[in-house]
Amino acid sequence: MKKKTLLYLKMIAFVVILVILDQISKFVATANLMGKSKYIVIKGLLSFNYLEGGNKGAAWGIFSGKILMFVIITIIAIVIISIFMRNITGIMCNEGKSATLMVLQYTFGMLMAGAVGNLIDRVVNGSVVDFICFEFIDFPIFNVADCYVTVSCVLIVVMCLLKLKEEDFNKIFTIKKNY
């Protein structure tokens, strides 16, 4: 099997596993928390609190009820992320693997999994299932897919600023085919 094909298959498997974990967490939260009071995990710090049809928008409820807009934007984002991942795979196959590029590849995979996980909720339920609640700050309830998106975005910014070579940056973040 070609090296590129193997890398693509590994990334698809990674994304699928993360999406499955997200969906399982939402299923378990719905089955165990819906209609019940919050479950304290660590008093004053973390609880699980099912938010009944709560998130019909983006973070903090912005653009609430605009499901079709979110579906379209998410599909566009997934296509763009796929292009960046294809570009990283091309660099790794043609110029050799580097730890930075491999971490960046998996980080984009995590971003895609978060987008797909919340997209599934929006299409199937009309809203996103949220259940993780920080008790120590006034912060919106969120879910595992939101964690994927947040962590991956922070990592992408840090890696682009501190670890990525300029020529690799230019090859990755272009829409035209580099390889």
Provide the pLDDT for residue 40: 94
User: Amino acid identity of 8?
Assistant: Y
Residue 49's contacts (CB-CB under 8 Å, 6 or more residues apart) are 33, 38, 39, 131, 133, 141
Within 10 A of 118 (CB to CB), how many other CB atoms are there?
Answer: 26
Check: pTM over 0.85? Answer yes or no: yes
How far apart, in whole angstroms, are the C-alpha atoms of residue 92 and residue 117? 27
What are 62-107's pLDDT values in tens digits?
A: 556 677 888 899 999 999 999 999 999 999 988 877 899 999 999 9
- The angle at the Cα of 109, spanning 68 to 21, to the nearest 5 degrees, equals 80
More confident residue, 63 or 134: 134
Residues catalogued as catalytic: 130, 146
Please give the pLDDT value at position 95: 83
Q: For residue 70, give both structure tokens.
A: 């979110």
